[in-house]
Structure formats: C-alpha cells, structure tokens
Structure 1
Amino acid sequence: MSRKNRHKGLLPAAVIAAMLTVTACSTAAPEEAKTPETGGVMEVSTVRASDPYLKFDLGETFDNNAVYAAYEKETGVKITNKWVADGSQFAEKLKMSIASNEIPDFFPVDAAQLQQLIEADMILDLTPVYDKVATENTKKMMTMDGGLQMKSATFDGKLMAIPSTSNPYYAQFLWVRTDWLKKLNLPEPKTMEDVAKIAEAFKTKDPGGTGKAYGLAFNKNLFDGALGVTGFLNGYHAYTNQWLDDGTGKLQFGDIQPQMKDALRGLQDLYKKGLIDPEFAVKDATKASEMLYNDSIGMVYGAEWMPAQLASGAVKDGKVVQEWGVFPLPSSDGKPAKSQIGLGVDKYYVVSKKAKHPEAVIKLLNHWIVVNNSQSEESKVYEFGKDKVEKSSNYWLLNPIFVNNQTNNNGEVLPDAIANKDESKLQTKDQKTRYGRAMKYVNGDTSLWWEYLISGPNGAVSLYPEMKKNNQFEQNKFYGAPTPTMVEKGAILNKKRDEVFVKIIMNQVPVDEFDKFVADWKSMGGNEITKEVNNWYSKNK
C-alpha cells in the first residue's frame, strides 16, 4: 500500500504499489470511532494529486469514496478536498496555493516548502497536539529509527510537521544473468575486477547470440534506482549527492571526493573497451532496458525491486527464459562496499495555523498506522475499496496520510519462510503478502517470478541481514531543508556534475577533468553550501 519515492521511478505506479507493500510491526485492531465531545464530525481539508493508476469504483470520486467514508465512520474525521490536480500539475498548483496563502487544513510538502512555510509563519507547531492526541502506538512507530526522521521535522524544539516515514534501508545490488555465468564457466562477482572480467566475457562471447552485446547496462539518468551508476560508484566507496563525515566532525560532499574520480576512471575504462552501450547517454531507463530484455546485456545495477523491471524479458509466454541472480555490491579494494541511503523521508505533512481541528490530523495518523498494520477484513477497505477485494485499482492512494515503517526484518523472515513453505514464521502484513506472491510462483505462476527473486531464499532481501550486521550502509548526514545557496545554485551545480561525469565516462574528456569540476563546484557556490551545511550540522548532530 505504500509508495516509495526515494528512487526515480522506472516502473508503472501500479507495479510499484503492488510490490512495495508496507512492512508492519503491529497488528492491533482498528480503534473505535472517536468523535468530538459535541458528538459532531470534525471536518478537515486537504489537496490531492490524481493518479492514472487509481481506478474508482462505479459512482465514486476523489470527493466521495469508500476510503474517506471509512475514516469518517471510524475516526469522526470528515476529509474534504480543497482541490484535486493532475499529478503532473500538482507541484505547481501547490506552489501557487502557498504563495497566495490559500492553503487547506493539512497537506504534503517537500523539505524546502516546509522551511518556507515555517519562515512565513503559516503552519502550526504540532508539539502539544501530537503529545496529547498521538497514541503510544503511533509514537512508537514514528521513532523506530531512533527518532531521526521525526527530528528532521523538528525546528527549535518544535514539531512543525509529520514526516512521511519509511524504511531507508533500500540498497543497490548487482544483478547478473546466472545462466550466462554457468554457460561461460565464470565465477560469481565479488570484486570490481570480477565485474570487468564478466562484462568483457559477456561482450566478446555474446552468450545471448544477438551479435550486438555489451557488458553493463546504464541509462542517461545516471542516478536512477535501476540501470544507474550509483551501485557502481558505491563499489569504489564513492557516494553521489551525499554529505559524509570527514572524520573531524564536519561534513563534506561526496561528489567531489577522490573516490569519485577513481569510480569515473573505472567507468571510462569499461567504456573504452566497448563494454558499455555507446548510446547509453541518449537512452532513458525504459529504452536501455530493451537490451536486457533481448539478451544483449546480462549485468546491471539496481535496487531491491529490480526484478520487477527485469520481468519483461525474463518471463515470456508463461515461461522463465532468463535466469538472474542478485549479488552484494562488489568492492574495488577488498573493503566491503556500502550502499548509500538517505533519511527515508520524501515529504512532510503540515497543518495550517487556520485549521480549526488540528487534532483531527493526528487522529487520521493514528488510524492509518493501525489499519496499515492490520490483517483484519475491515482494514481492507483502505487498500481495496468498499468490496475489499484486490482488483488493481490502487485504492490505497486515497488515504490522505502515508507513514510507513522505518525498519523491517523481511530479510530474516521471508527467505526462510519461503524456502520451507512455513507460514508460521510470518509476522507482518507485508510479509504475508510477499510470501503469498512468492508461493504462487513456486506453484507455477511465472508472472510472479519477480517476487521470488526479491523475497525468496536467494533473493535481494536475503542479503540485508549480513549487510546490516557489517554496517554496509552509508547514510546521508544532512537531512535539513535545502540551504539558501542550494536553492539558488544547486540545480546548476548538479547539471554541471551530470555533464562532466557523462563526458568522462564516454572518454570525451580525460579523467583529470574531474579536478577542474571540483574547483568549479567550489567556486560556483559549493564552498558556500558546505559552510551552510556544516552550520546546520553543528546544531543537529
């Protein structure tokens, strides 16, 4: 039921929604309806973005639907929409609403907008109402990460928003055609040297027989969650768009560190050997994926959900025709590679100072946490609509507040449960959903091959326990709102970075061009950004 937006989307929303269901740690029954002391209903307004994958039941709309009706019945809170905009126009319309101070009672914003609203004194300090109305279950759920995500919404000791929490531990992995490894008698990749050797073998020996083979798949959006270079960079201990501790208690920007130059040199070497599609810089992820589907490329970096992307080529006419395996990020120097992760918050829910019933928003939060973690028949209305039956309608999108669990033990539970066909090990709704899909694959439903490769005995989630044990995650240390100079110059600096990195990879300029990029980055605003970030860090360690 949850949507994960930390990585740029490559899959249809319907597929992502179906796959990335929320991990639960509580199975409490829904709370009884609680209405105001007057016995009336509390009305709160919000704004919504439409979604092409949300299909309404007959007679229902954004303003009149089973999900809103269920909230009103169960919590005494009536949700109304101040406006609904097309998804592509939502951000601009919200920007205009904020600028004109025509905001609803509560609504989602990004970190920069949160800062803007605080400075404009337009939103409420939620500290007292949250302390009073949030249940103990809610307070526990919202701080399972140690409190960092809630801290990101706290300014001068005041809780100014509810973070849209989620589990930040989503790693990059290396995905390889294991049928090709067997065919060519190649070892599983453990080092970056192995990656280069496998890429060369896949290119020169062309196990797919296409006559146009390459070693590694990338696309023009360098930092996509799939077919991007992030996992490759992490193998060199290079972290893009991350603020890292420099060892002296200050933060430094990952894009300009020496490790990044080493990683770019590694990519340029692969390109010069013809192991990377020379047209990658003009292909988006969808177009680049075609080379995976048609057997031209058999190795790619991608997130946990990568199998859902691979399925279009791996399963044809009801048969699995490609065998893929998932591997931890190979390292360039023998030290375990760390996968970079963010805070796990992509937006915040704020409450207008004009809202008559701010407590109603916390009631919605309480209720969402309960029903989202419930396996009850009653809670299915929030996921599937009034008939409570899965029909690919994405009714979960109608819930006005999404907060998801900040951690999970899927890696410890799912692979073992699936291998032994043991449902007794399952603890959460998410685990039961994933288990059910994986078992359908085991029993012959090849359309769910992707779930087995994610959650099965040798799937992506099976690698997490060891990664957590070995601390193989590099978390961004900066989680504040964009600094003034970031807002002013960040887009220009990022564009320059992307241009230089692509030119280096494609051998259009020497690797030493990186040094000029670093100097330009610093002089064009990077030094000022670094000062601003460290000023923030000194107050938020």
Structure 2
Amino acid sequence: MKGIKKRFLTGMVTVLALSSLAACSGKSGNEAVRETNPAASASSVSSNDSGSAEANGETAPFKNGKYDPPIPINIAVDVGDDIQYFNGETAEKNILFDQTKANLGLDIHVLWTAPGKNDGFKTKLLLSLASGEKLPDVVFTGGDSELMNQLIDSGKFMALNDSIDKYASEDIKRVYNENPDLFLPVTRDGKAMALPIPIFGPNSPPLMYIRQDWLDKLSLKAPTNMDELEQVMDAFVNKDPDGNNKKDTYGAAVQLKNPGGDIFADATALFGAYGAIPGIWRKSEDGQSLSYDSVQPGMKTALGKFHDWLSKGYISKDAAQQDGGTATQLFTSGKAGIVFGPNWFPYFPLPDLEKNVPGAKYKVYPIPAGPDGKAERRAMSIFGGALLINKDYAHPDAVFKYAQAMYDMARDGQVWGLTRDFLMNNGYQAQGSYFQVSKYGFLPNYFVDPWYQIDGYLDYMKEGKPGRSPSEQEGFDTCQKNPLCINGQIESMSTWRAQKDADVISAFAGPTTETQKTQGDYLYKMEYETMIKIIYGTTPIDGFDAFVEKWKSSGGDKITQEVNDWYTKNVLKK
C-alpha cells in the first residue's frame, strides 16, 4: 500500500517534544555563548588528552574533546519551511556551526543550499551526482527512501561497518544494538551503507478512543474483542446515544481512502484482528520467509466484515472517499462513537470533541482482539532516515563525534551551552513548535534514543521519580500541569505499552524491487479497487480469490520472490 502521508511521518512523531532548542545569536555564536555561560564548552564527547591522531583512532589530532587544528566537513543544506535564521545569521554562518568548530574542532562548510519544496534539494543533489560535481562529505536523506537508495547505489558513499565499530560512542552503539532492525533499509550485501538515524517511538500504532459518555448512557462496557465491538457499534447506531431522536450516528469513524496508510481514523486494528493488514509484509511462523498480507485468507475475512459493517451503517458510506482527517471529524463532531488513532490524539484533534459537543467525554482503550484472541495493528519503523558519508571524506570519525553531540542535545536539551534559556534570553524566537538549532546541521532531527522519551514519562514521571536531566524534569513539570498530557497522552502511552506486542511492522525494508518498479502501481490499484468493491458490495466476497490469482500472475509472485531474496540475503544471513 502507499505510504503514510508525509505530513504525519515527518511532523507529528510525538507531541511530547524535547525541551525546546532555539536558533541563534547575533554575535559570533561562540562569543555569545561563552559570554553568557563560561562553562559552555563542557561536552560529553570523548577526549584524547595526548593529542595523537592514533591513540583513539581519530584521523586527525584530537585533544580535550576537539580536533586541533579544526578539520573541515562539507555539507549541503535542505532549506525547509521549518528553518529560520535570526539576527543576520545564514545557512552558511550560524551559532551551531560556530559552536561545533569551537567545541568539537569540526569546521562545517556549506557547498550549496536548495529549497526542500518541490524536491528542490533532491533534484540538485541528483544533478550533482549525474554531472560528476563535487558531492557533500555527508548527506542526510530524511524520509526519502528513493533518494537514499539512489545515493547508496551510486557507489559514491562508504560502507560503515568498520567505522561504527571503531568510532561510534557507547551511546550510539547501545541504540544500534538495542534496535538492530534500524540497519535493514541501509544494508547491502551485509554492508551498512549509511548510518540509520532513529526517531522516537511509538509514533503510529493506533489505540481505541471511545465516547465514554455513550457507553455509560447505554450501560455498555468497552469492547475487548470483535464480537463485543460489533455489539457496541450496533448500539451506537441504533440506540440513539446522542439523544436527538434521530438515527444519525455511526459506530466508528474509519477512513478507507488509504486503508493501510493513514494514522487518523486508522483502520489497521480492525483488519489486524483477522490477521492481515493492508500493505504489510509479514514473517512466516518459522521466520524463514515473508508473505504479503493483502493477498492472505485473513484479508478476505476482514473485507467481509467491513462489508457487513458498511451495510449495517456501523461505518460511513463515504469512508472510501474520506481521508483520515475528514473521517476523524465524525468523532470530534459527535457523530461517531469510536475512532482509532495514535497516542498523541489527546492533544490533537480530540479536544475538538468537547468544543463541538459540550459535556462529551472519551476514554482510551486497548484495541480489540480477533477471533483467535490476538490483537494486531500496523506500526511504523523507528527508522527516520539515513546519513551517508562520502567515500572520499578523510574523517569519518568526526561524523560520529557530531552524532554524539546531537545525541547529547536530544537527551539533555542542550549542548555546548545552547540551552533554551540562553537562546530565549538572546532574542531568538520559536522554530515551529519547539526550538531546533540542530536543523542547521547535517543531523536536523538529532540522534535520539527511540525509547528514552516514553521510558522517561512512564518509568520516571508517572512513578514519581525525578527526571534524568534538568531538561527532562522541565518536561515532566510542564506535562503535570497540562491535563491534555498527564490525563491524555500519558494514559494513551501507558495503554499502548501494555499492548505493544500487538504492533506489526512490515518486515520488508529493502529498496524497491525491479518488478515493484514496473508493476507496483498496477498491483496496488488492483488491490485497492478489489478491497473497495468487496466492501461496497459491487464485487462478491469470492471475487477476492480471483484477485489473488491475478495479483500473483501479474507480477505479485515475482515481487514475493524478490522480497524474499532480499530477506534471505540481508536478514537471515547477516
């Protein structure tokens, strides 16, 4: 199936953001920080007091936590809408670059900039690649898997297995060791061709949000399985839960415009109850092969259920035309009693429910189990992009030291004295929803421990323990004062973690296969049209069997073989 909408994948990873980090300084960044904070140069980046380039494996003299003299690194800057420069600073000269040079001895130079809009950055980078122009020493691809694969396939970037062993800090090695699947998208023939950059989890698995006032009015309990869910949906449709003496409510708000892809009004827990989630490549029971959920018998069962729910009015007849945002409005406007969405729904858009329907109450619940007692839902990978290092760059160790600095910034809310208070007190405004001076560099989304944040809120704040850093404690204090956080998202996070085994991440993380390139769009269209026709009753349920045979003969079998070739080569034999 088509991917998650980019606005969700890149924008709303989680609402519980790290302590804000801002943009910059009108003076030389180094001078401004040191004038305000004499201890600003303290850093957790490891140091080598001998100054030798060999003692810790560095490729240039490294003493007191920095390269001395400074070493250069060339980058290209993707200037997106979320980047702002203040007090005369620019993409080429700003406080982050000043501080990186002053404290790490890494002198960042900008080869060129390009707008992120309309693929401007991607286009310029690929043109440079095709024309033989000088390439940046490092490139971050973000969520653009096509760009990542093209760069890897170009042969211009180095394999990093040895560099990771030699240069990565203990923090970064731990993150990689605890999350080995991060490497699947960047591995070729057993070689890690880029550093996988993680994002915070969990950023997508759906939870079940239900109108608690409707349950109470009708003397119902929250459903724990699909039979109970159908009973609740039936009551929400036929027993006038809103008390207006009209049959104008739905059991659940569900979008079917992108059945496996949208995280608003997410349908994947409903499909997953029957053991098949649209677009998912799933491991066999013995873990030795992958199969495509959309053509499995469980999908046929699920489609039959959706047809039944549609015919009974449990879901809207407009579900196939509605994206997730539109479908979710059925819940927030008071017309549907159930909606599935991520843990941050209590921040947005669920507060609209009480605004639109005074007195309305909702509560979060685990997703219901299927006939076999198992609950399943689609979850997305914590892979947030790739950082590639040019084969001709002489100092790969410096990239790892910068990554550690970005790890420190993510964990501690500051690095090199670039605290929120310092930046706010020196005249800098918010970048989007929080401060991200990291966006100026080549790891714009930091290097995060994917589970550090949720573990902090659930294992420390919720248990009455202090934060592990001043920044984290500040986040705890803010959360505890905000009902949307402490009574909303934290409860949703706890509900997710109690049922985290229900998460299903597609087991295929490789590049687009050759047959997918030629037949993928056709097969997806056939898949989607078949699903919708069965749900809406224009094709009988047994039409699914004919679809499966046609899917297989039209390239599906070949894709399955290619996917399994990748799996065997890069997962089973790694």
Structure 1 and Structure 2 fold alike (TM over 0.5): yes
Give yes or no for contact 2:276–2:293 (8 Å, CA) kept in 1.
yes
Matches within 5 A, 1:293-442: 293-314=332-353, 316=355, 321-375=359-413, 378=416, 380-381=418-419, 385=423, 387=425, 391=430, 393=432, 394-396=434-436, 397-401=439-443, 402-408=446-452, 410=454, 414-415=457-458, 422-424=464-466, 426-427=467-468, 432=473, 435-442=476-483
Q: Which residue of 2 aligns with 1:255?
A: 294
Secondary structure at the counterpart of residue 333 of structure 1: coil
1:42 has 2:83 as partner: no
**What per-residue deviation string (whole Å, max 9, x for no partner) do you get for residues 396-437 of structure 1?**
2334224322435836x63576667x243x446886465334
Mapped partners of 1:247, 1:423: distance in 2: 41
Give yes or no for contact 1:253–1:530 (8 Å, CA) kept in 2.
yes
Task: State the identity %.
Answer: 24
Shift of 1:47: 3.2
Alignment partner of 2:520 out of 468, 490, 497: 490
**What per-residue deviation string (whole Å, max 9, x for no partner) do you get for residues 419-476 of structure 1?**
67x243x44688646533431124xxxxxx1563111xxx1221244335xx433343
Mapped partners of 1:460, 1:427: distance in 2: 22
Q: How many residues align?
A: 515
Alignment partner of 2:537 out of 490, 502, 507: 507
Mapped partners of 1:235, 1:140: distance in 2: 34
Alignment partner of 1:51 out of 80, 93, 99: 80
**What per-residue deviation string (whole Å, max 9, x for no partner) do you get for residues 278-305 of structure 1?**
2222232333333222211121111222
Range 223-232 or range 167-176, more displaced: 167-176
Secondary structure at the counterpart of residue 383 of structure 2: coil
Mapped partners of 1:463, 1:312: distance in 2: 19
Structure 1 residues 416 and 33: CA distance shift in structure 2, 3 A? closer
Structure 1 residues 345 and 418: CA distance shift in structure 2, 3 A? closer
Matches within 5 A, 1:89-104: 89=119, 90-102=121-133, 103-104=135-136
1:214 has 2:247 as partner: no
Matches within 5 A, 1:79-228: 79-81=108-110, 82-89=112-119, 90-102=121-133, 103-109=135-141, 110-145=144-179, 147-150=180-183, 152-166=185-199, 169-170=202-203, 171-208=205-242, 212-219=248-255, 220-222=257-259, 223-228=261-266
Alignment partner of 1:529 out of 552, 559, 570: 559
Give yes or no for contact 2:43–2:415 (8 Å, CA) kept in 1.
no
Structure 1 residues 418 and 358: CA distance shift in structure 2, 3 A? closer
Mapped partners of 1:503, 1:77: distance in 2: 58
What code does the residue aligned with 1:302 have? G
Secondary structure at the counterpart of residue 83 of structure 1: strand
**What per-residue deviation string (whole Å, max 9, x for no partner) do you get for residues 197-232 of structure 1?**
222222233434575322211232322112121121
Structure 1 residues 54 and 126: CA distance shift in structure 2, 3 A? same
Give the superposed CA RMSD: 3.4
**What per-residue deviation string (whole Å, max 9, x for no partner) do you get for residues 319-362 of structure 1?**
98542212222122141213333442142111122334333322
Structure 1 residues 255 and 343: CA distance shift in structure 2, 3 A? same
Q: Which residue of 2 aligns with 1:272?
A: 311
Give yes or no for contact 1:175–1:326 (8 Å, CA) kept in 2.
yes
Q: Which residue of 1 aligns with 2:25?
A: none
What code does the residue aligned with 1:438 have? C
Give yes or no for contact 1:29–1:371 (8 Å, CA) kept in 2.
no
Structure 1, unpaired ranges of 5+: 1-5, 23-27, 443-448
Mapped partners of 1:150, 1:392: distance in 2: 31
Structure 2, unpaired ranges of 5+: 20-41, 52-59, 62-66
Q: Give the TM-score, by structure 2 length.
A: 0.79
Mapped partners of 1:387, 1:255: distance in 2: 54
Q: Which residue of 2 aligns with 1:480?
A: 510
Secondary structure at the counterpart of residue 331 of structure 1: coil
Secondary structure at the counterpart of residue 173 of structure 2: helix
Range 82-91 or range 365-374, more displaced: 82-91
What code does the residue aligned with 1:200 have? D
Mapped partners of 2:101, 2:477: distance in 1: 32
Mapped partners of 2:562, 2:90: distance in 1: 45
Give yes or no for contact 2:404–2:447 (8 Å, CA) kept in 1.
no
Larger radius of gyration: 2
**What per-residue deviation string (whole Å, max 9, x for no partner) do you get for residues 147-191 of structure 1?**
232354333343310001235555221111112211221111111
Give yes or no for contact 2:73–2:109 (8 Å, CA) kept in 1.
yes
Shift of 1:512: 2.2
Secondary structure at the counterpart of residue 406 of structure 2: helix
Structure 1 residues 232 and 118: CA distance shift in structure 2, 3 A? same
Give yes or no for contact 2:15–2:347 (8 Å, CA) kept in 1.
no
Give yes or no for contact 2:333–2:353 (8 Å, CA) kept in 1.
no
Structure 1 residues 467 and 537: CA distance shift in structure 2, 3 A? same
Mapped partners of 2:132, 2:420: distance in 1: 31
**What per-residue deviation string (whole Å, max 9, x for no partner) do you get for residues 257-278 of structure 1?**
1111111111111111122222
What code does the residue aligned with 2:489 have? I
Give yes or no for contact 1:191–1:334 (8 Å, CA) kept in 2.
no
Mapped partners of 1:430, 1:503: distance in 2: 52
Mapped partners of 1:503, 1:98: distance in 2: 45
